[in-house]
Amino acid sequence: MNQPVVVRAEKVKKLYRMGTVEVLALAGVDLTISRGEFVSIMGPSGCGKSTLMHILGCLDRPSEGKVLLDEVNIGGLDDNRLAAIRNRKVGFVFQTFNLLPKLNAIENVELPLIYAGTNFEARRKKAAELLEMVGLKERMFHKPSELSGGQSQRVAIARALANDPSIILADEPTGNLDSKSGEEIIYLFNELNQAGATLIIVTHDQEIASRSRRIVRLKDGLVVADEVIRP
């Protein structure tokens, strides 16, 4: 297994200033993730896992250190370049789904394609394919309020896949779901991973983490354990 590196963090520090208090959310994280990996990031709350995810996903910049995504150092990029990278190379899946409530399923999936400048026919076709793939062919024109939690999360996953990203970052993707729906989502992640997708999920649920192939544990802003559980 000698796949190319998708994302590499080198001595990444993140310092938050809250009034006069400084909080070191990441204290020097080194992490390398290669194409086709399925990694869980675990740790107690406040350990910096969300911060790490935001930085790996180009939503935020490190205070110190380097993050290379597809060999591009994101530290030096302006807002617009970061937005373009998020659009093309990163797919986010959130705990609370974060679908736009006024748009129906297919319009939600189309959003990243709109910002990528894809024309209407092409993006409608692609969004329909993705929704079919996540098993929501019959629900394309339903609003999020008309979908169950599991269905909403599958729409969100379809949206994350819209621009064929280099990595998919999922922050507690099953946190708001019942165990059956959660199981379906993890199953879907596994399928995606088998099809070649690179996945990083942030979770505090040991069982969810055990379904991935590598577990990275964070504590107080540092990587304290990193083990491959299934090659």
Structure-token match 């591009």, residue found: 72
Angle between helices 149-160 and 179-194 (to 10 degrees): 20
Residue 71, SS3 per DSSP:
coil
Shortest Cβ 99–another protein spacing (Å)? 8
222 lines the binding site for another protein (CB under 8 A): no
147 lines the binding site for another protein (CB under 8 A): no
Which segment (5-13, 33-41, 57-65, 131-139) binds another protein by CB under 8 A? 57-65
Question: Residues 138-147, buried b or exposed e (16+ Cβ, 10 A)?
Answer: ebbebbbeeb
Residue 129 DSSP symbol: H
Q: Can you tell me which of 13, 35, 54, 219 binds another protein, judged by CB under 8 A?
A: 54
Specify burial of residue 94 (Cβ count, 10 A radius: 0-12, 13-18, 19+). middle
Q: Which is nearer to another protein, 96 or 206 (CB)?
A: 96
164 lines the binding site for another protein (CB under 8 A): no
Among the listed residues 8, 14, 12, the one whose alpha carbon sits nearest the alpha carbon of residue 46 = 14
Q: What mask of x and - would describe binding to another protein in positions 70 to 109, judged by CB under 8 A?
A: ---------xx--xx-xxx---x-x---xxx-xx------
User: What is the layout of strands, in order, in the sheet containing 214-219?
Assistant: 90-93, 167-171, 199-202, 38-42, 214-219, 222-228
Distance CA 150, CA 180 (A): 9
Shortest Cβ 101–another protein spacing (Å)? 9
203 lines the binding site for another protein (CB under 8 A): no
Residue 172 DSSP symbol: S
Positions 107 through 146 that interact with another protein (CB under 8 A)? 111-112, 114-117
Shortest Cβ 21–another protein spacing (Å)? 17
Q: Which is nearer to another protein, 85 or 215 (CB)?
A: 85
Q: Can you tell me which of 163, 181, 198, 203 binds another protein, judged by CB under 8 A?
A: 163
- Give the residues lining the site for another protein (CB under 8 A): 54, 57, 59-60, 79-80, 83-84, 86-88, 92, 94, 98-100, 102-103, 111-112, 114-117, 159, 163
